[in-house]
Structure 1
Amino acid sequence: MTATTMNVNAVIDQAKFKPFHLTVVLWCLFVVLFDGYDLAINGVALPLLMKEWSMTAVQAGMLASTALAGMMFGAMLFGMLADKIGRKKVIIICVTLFSGFTFAGGFASNPTEFGILRFIAGLGIGGVLPNLVALTSEYAPQKFRSTLVTAMFSGYAMGGIMAALLGVAFTPTFGWKIMFFIAGIPLLFIPILWKFLPESVTFLVKDQQTEKARSIIQRLVPEETVTSDTVLVLNEAKVPDASVAALFKNGRG
């Protein structure tokens, strides 16, 4: 039976769990694993850098905070950018930033260079996380949504554990730089991410990329017939009160 109008949000909410969903979760898990790793390597590298560059604890703390500052700006910048160019593109940009500039950090010769590279890497570290959560949440069927988002997000902690274990295994022999070179691994997967990570279907519908959106919907519900005549619609969203006063309404104060 050919549908004439199809509510995208309802289709996703009611869909059965399929390999497509697993693909989305696993790729997002892979990215967030290295996202957590790239932030956690500060704890492994800084004690060694303090000795090599003769830094005090205060100087080392300031150096570590550069990535955190980058994360703050990255989360704000790339959250807004995703609404304009799509989540997939933003995720690819962020992976390039946090992986590429963390890798480059292994070549830093002084604290200033290191701090600049960590700040730029922090933009990607902070920017990718909300987009991964949003993409996973958007594609997850309603009854599995919390479980899938939590499972994906656990990769952040796993990345921290991976950094600690690899630090114990490799830094005594290869020094602190090896930790940053390992961070470059996701760069090799960018072409694969581009091919297999789907774009936000909500974005595709809003951006009138209907053919791509129909193709994804067909994969989500292969039992339905989605044709070029199928009109895709989204749930009507109520425009929220964005005033400063709204911060203090409904118990938020």
Structure 2
Amino acid sequence: MMVGAFLWGGLADKVGRRRCLTVALAINCVFAFLSSFAQSYGFFLFFRLLSGIGIGGTVPIVYSYFSEFLQMDKRGEHLSWLCMFWMIGGIYASFTAWGIIPRYGWGFSMGTQFQFHSWRVFVLVAALPAITSLVGLSFMPESPRFLLE
């Protein structure tokens, strides 16, 4: 995530916040999806690493993108709300994992090679907020500050 933050933060200043946020979210979505189907630990780690680069890119871009649409006197309050909802999302992810991945797990086979277990379902479900954010971002304009530069 740290690599993604360094990479995407500076790039967003040059190319545009909306465009970089769209690409970072798309990278997160694609590699989160692929990680749920990885059949080896090495591929799983590789896909999660690339997904983390996408997630790391969203963190600095979201805060700057969001703050540029706010009035100066309300900026601190609304950024605090954004931080709070980010933490609520982490709690929600924990409860979702608790509900999807039971103590002993469940799964089904697709042929002789592919085993689809409950943790894979959780990885897919965990990608849904990024997918909905990507769809919602398609209706958002570019950052006003970036357009002024």
Residues 1:159 and 2:89 are matched in the alignment: yes
From 180, 183, 205, give the equivalent of 2:123.
180
CA distance in 2, matches of 1:169, 1:100: 24
- Deviation, 1:155, is 2.4
**Number of equivalent positions:** 135
Residues 1:203 and 2:140 are matched in the alignment: no
Give the match for residue 112 of structure 2: none
- Deviation, 1:189, is 5.2
How far does the alpha carbon of each residue in 1:181-203 deviate from its partner, in whole angstroms, 9 at most, with x for none? 113323355343212x2211111
CA distance in 1, matches of 2:26, 2:85: 18
From 129, 138, 149, give the equivalent of 1:194.
138
Give the match for residue 24 of structure 2: 94
Matches for 1:4-153 after TM superposition, within 5 Å: 71-153=1-83
- Deviation, 1:105, is 1.0
CA contact (8 A) 2:36 2:121 kept: yes
- TM-score after normalising by structure 2: 0.83
AA partner of residue 182 (structure 1): V
CA distance in 1, matches of 2:21, 2:94: 25
Secondary structure of 2:131's match? helix
Aligned CA RMSD, in angstroms, stands at: 1.6
AA partner of residue 24 (structure 2): C
CA distance in 2, matches of 1:154, 1:96: 24
Q: Could you tell me the percent identity over the aligned residues?
A: 30
AA partner of residue 122 (structure 2): M
CA contact (8 A) 2:93 2:126 kept: no
Matches for 1:202-241 after TM superposition, within 5 Å: 202-206=145-149
CA contact (8 A) 2:9 2:57 kept: yes
CA distance in 1, matches of 2:121, 2:79: 31
**Bigger Rg, structure 1 or 2:** 1
- TM-score after normalising by structure 1: 0.50
Structure 1 regions of 5+ residues with no counterpart?
Answer: 1-70, 207-253
CA contact (8 A) 2:31 2:47 kept: yes
CA distance in 1, matches of 2:79, 2:133: 22
Structure 2 regions of 5+ residues with no counterpart?
Answer: 108-117
